[in-house]
Structure 1
Amino acid sequence: MKSLAAALLLSAGLPAVAAAADFPADRIIAMASGDWNKDGTPDLALVATPGADGADDNGLYVYLAKPEANRLTLALALPNSVWGNLTMSGQEPELTALANGSFTLTTKNEAIGRERWRETLTIAYRNFDFIVAGYTYASYDTIAEDGGENSTSDCDLNILTGKGKSNGQAVAGKPQFVLLRDWNNGIPRSTCGLDN
């Protein structure tokens, strides 16, 4: 079985010289490559299924390239942090590299129950760590009879400025610099009034 290290190094265009991690590549369910730290060398982010550690949720792992050493180095490991699965269509986590060097992590439920939702974190590399720069959320009720304003909700918030929109209206909260490892969805949901 291919090792994760080989898959990671090959995806970043680096030779498979040193092990970046030691779990099988078939645990990877989403990945994106971009220049997170803007040093001119491709880096990698991936979501992997839980191992034998008893975790319920997937993990997010972010690697930075070390071109002088021909390898990727694990910069952030957040096991048991990403909701979703591959068993049910419409619940697969997604990673997308952005042109500005950030990336997005999307979780969703577009398959089961009456409330369908999609949530995206925009993740950026600042001050030698990964932060949450933006939050986007949309949901709808599949069986709401009126189909009116109570059947849908949305939020698009710049975490760094505290400004955004919720259900079509401008909202403003406290500007924040939140490390990804310390992230709590209550931050934007409170500003957007999603938990009222």
Structure 2
Amino acid sequence: MFRTALVTAMLVAAAAAQAEPDYSRILDAETFSFENGETDRAVLVANGDSSSDLYIYLDLQSASDGKAPKPALVKKDAAWDGGIWGSRPSLETSAKGSLLIKSENSGAGRDRWSQTLTVVYRNRQFIVAGLTREAYDTLAPESGHSCDLNFLSGKGKKDGKAIDVKTPAMKLADWSDGDLPKECNF
């Protein structure tokens, strides 16, 4: 009986921890609209493990019943977080209402890079629609590389030259920086 109660309590605690961010560790938040006219919010929270978690809330106006809104998506390890200046992730929105998840290493070591994921909301899914990435070695800056990919149109650029993008758009929940498309893996 005690063991069942303990397991149940642990599962409830784990579910609660995933549903609500640690507000003392918020790195950035963005209030915007995923092109639907409703008030949506994205919150980026340091998770203490060299990355940050993303919480996306939809239609905050409907959640005015006094209860805390529930996230529509919790994406663990959404962006790398180096913990110091020049390596903290951030959020922005594009003029078209897309969420931009930005991460970088511009402040430490010789391998410098920046990355922006473009996230859209289509058919009740959060989709990675694009990736922009730049990288260079501070000891050999002329050896830098860049890519700008649009997964929805299948068009992009690598090192300034037009390319066809073979990687299809995917759900944000399935995205991993560890599996970058070959066009941006340099």
Q: TM-score range by the shorter chain?
A: 0.7 to 0.9
- 1:112 is aligned, of 105, 108, 115, to 108
Corresponding residue for residue 182 of structure 2: 190
Corresponding residue for residue 4 of structure 1: none
- 1:30 is aligned, of 12, 23, 28, to 28
Instruction: Give, in whole Å, the separation in 2 of the partners of 1:126 and 1:83.
Output: 25
Corresponding residue for residue 52 of structure 2: 58
Gaps of 5+ in 2: 1-18
Instruction: Give, in whole Å, the separation in 2 of the partners of 1:114 and 1:154.
Output: 17
Corresponding residue for residue 171 of structure 1: 163
Deviation string 1:148-193 (CA, Å, 9 cap, x unpaired) is: 3xx210000101122111011111122623100111447763135x
Percent identity for Structure 1 against Structure 2: 36
Counting matched residue pairs gives 166
Corresponding residue for residue 15 of structure 1: none
- 1:180 is aligned, of 165, 172, 181, to 172
Offset of residue 138 of structure 1 = 0.6
**Structure in which a larger fraction of residues adopt helix:** 2
8 Å contact from structure 1 (residues 135, 188) kept in 2:
no
Instruction: Give, in whole Å, the separation in 1 of the partners of 2:155 and 2:105.
Output: 26
RMSD between superposed Cα atoms in Å:
2.3
Corresponding residue for residue 44 of structure 2: 47
Instruction: Give, in whole Å, the separation in 2 of the partners of 1:138 and 1:84.
Output: 17
Instruction: Give, in whole Å, the separation in 1 of the partners of 2:128 and 2:158.
Output: 18
Change (3 A) 1:73 1:169: same
Instruction: Give, in whole Å, the separation in 1 of the partners of 2:35 and 2:73.
Output: 13
Instruction: Give, in whole Å, the separation in 1 of the partners of 2:72 and 2:181.
Output: 28
